[in-house]
A and B are shown apart, each in its own frame.
Chain A
């Protein structure tokens, strides 16, 4: 799907009348940003489900979703900086609400692992992490709405960009967005399978060693236990 999207970007979508060839960055930067932000909100939903059901699988899903979203957010910041440098002549524009708000969201989620690691008790760790995921997840749409309401002079808005653009631009953008969303789901599933395998192996090793103490072999970790 992503390969199709990138093929459309370079062979089908036209160059922007204003920005020219530089506009091609839009098709990787914006889908990544949207998927990362939606990922944070989904992590909040998983956090709420964990608090409600006390099932560790929801904590694990919340953890993995935040992990992949933060990786995508790193990509958003770097590709955004490259685009800003090419379009505006600066790597980062500090008076642009969209950029600064995204940086704040990224820094907020960067504290997720230190928070988890600082709590030794696994039950408390997962509970506090879920509360963090919900609060931070609620902050994401609020922040987005606030930025939308703020007057912006430089950063283009995606909705206006895609609705006023030719059909080829909209189609390419939608395919890129779908590809990015599928990549996100695939990476989440991949990481979740890896984490489950690791924990099952640890449990098996504990059983073989006849050890009942959970922390004796695993040690302190920010990762949830499932």
Chain B
């Protein structure tokens, strides 16, 4: 088969490279959403630890009163 003219071949070449870039971007976007979920979890756990730390002295005080 003879080589395609540049204006026609260019479309195919651009499509192939765009597929590669799109795959990479989709992967990075998915990983970014996972990262934001991890960040939310870290915040949630930090709040939980804070709550426990605040609750611990109050519980100890109640024990000493009792």
Contact = CB atoms under 8 A, between A and B. Distances in A.
Categorize the interface residue count of chain A: 35 or more
Interface string B4-27: 111011101101110110011001
A152 interface: no
B29 interface: no
A194 to B, nearest CB: 6
A215 interface: no
Contact of A78 (B6, B8, B10, B19): B19
A166 interface: no
Interface in A1-51: 6, 15-16, 18-22, 24-25, 28-29, 32
Interface of A: 6, 15-16, 18-22, 24-25, 28-29, 32, 71, 74-75, 78-79, 82-83, 85-89, 183, 187, 190-191, 194, 197-198, 201, 204-205, 208
Interface of B: 1, 3-6, 8-10, 12-13, 15-17, 19-20, 23-24, 27, 31, 34-35, 38, 41-42, 45, 48-49, 52
